[in-house]
Chains A and B, each alone.
Chain A
Amino acid sequence: MTVKDLQSKLNLKALNEATDTEVEGAFISDMLSDVMAGAKAGNVWVTVQTHKNIIAAANLVDVPAIIVVRDKKVPEDTLQMADRVGVTVFATDLDSFQIAVKLYEAGIKPTT
């Protein structure tokens, strides 16, 4: 499933361009250090964080898409950085648990 497919299946609002990068698994955390240490390439990352450093962290470990939950506002400089590195940022009013359920139902399985 690609990032574009994910957008379509979950009816997610993309704040920038959705790419054709393959998604594999998901990682849920609000800590950059967690992502740096534990996220796998291809994971979609679910977080409430919106600071532009989430893009730097995603780029470091090849996370192709970030879902910002609970309607948190994503600043413009975060989106500019996302465009620079090619990471898609989605927004949803769901919380982390609700979006995790939807990801699982859409076929996103845990990665080891």
Chain B
Amino acid sequence: MARDRCKHQWKMVNLRDGFIVTEKCYHCKAARVYFSYEEVPPKDEYKEGDHYWNYAGSAQSVKFDMECSECGKVVEFEELMGLMQCAQCDASCYLNILSHVSESQNVWLYAALSYKGGEEVDLPPEKLEVLSAHFTGRLRTPGKKILTVPGSLRKSPDTCKGEMLRDVGMLSLTPEE
């Protein structure tokens, strides 16, 4: 497929507020993440197939699409839940290793954590490129770049100490358990 001829200038559009909701099955310990556009995060317990899903936490966030201000092309990011900067917690994690190398060149990695059907997936390269171009285009520090990378570069989502950029506990006076 021929690449676009347009030198895209991406801007965030179609911003939608909502919640990143995490649920856990108390039967098999499976976890899933999805985005809710409800005014308050859904906290129902329910059975679905063999799973007994319980609310396990939520955080405010925003969804967006990207539109090119030159040609009008729109790229949707429905599966993107958030960006995460490496916490450098595990020396053997690929994301950590790459972060160390890239940061020395003033290139800052952000993992694009994405979910489909509740399960983690990687954004395709073309969408990662759009995110990188957009955020790099907003910088003014000479030589600095933002590079968004797949979440699967993390050694393990379960042990990763990096945290997604999102707003936790903004609606409650008491911390979530």
Chain A interface (Cβ < 8 Å from any Cβ of B): 21, 30-34, 36-37, 40-42, 51-53, 56-57, 59-62, 84-85
A33 to B15, CA, bound (A): 10
Which residue of chain B lies nearest to A41 when distances are taken between CB atoms in the complex? B140
Establish whether residues A53 and B163, one from each chain, have CB atoms under 8 Å apart when the complex forms: yes
Contact between B167 and A36 (Cβ–Cβ < 8 Å)? no
Q: Which residues of B contact A (CB under 8 A)?
A: 12, 15, 17, 60-62, 64, 83-85, 87, 103, 108, 110, 135, 138-141, 144, 146, 163, 165-167, 170
Q: How far is the CA of A34 from the CA of B166 in the complex (A)?
A: 10
Closest to A31 in B: B167
Known: A31-B170, A32-B166. A62 touches B60 (CB 8 A): no
Residues of chain A with a CB closer than 8 A to B64's CB = 37
Bound CA–CA A62/B144 (angstroms): 9
A41 to B141, CA, bound (A): 8
Rounded to whole Å, the gap between the CB of B155 and the closest CB of chain A is 19
| Residue in contact with A33 in the complex, picked from B103, B110, B140, B166, CB distance below 8 Å | B166
> In the complex, what's the smallest C-beta–C-beta distance from A57 to chain B, in angstroms?
5
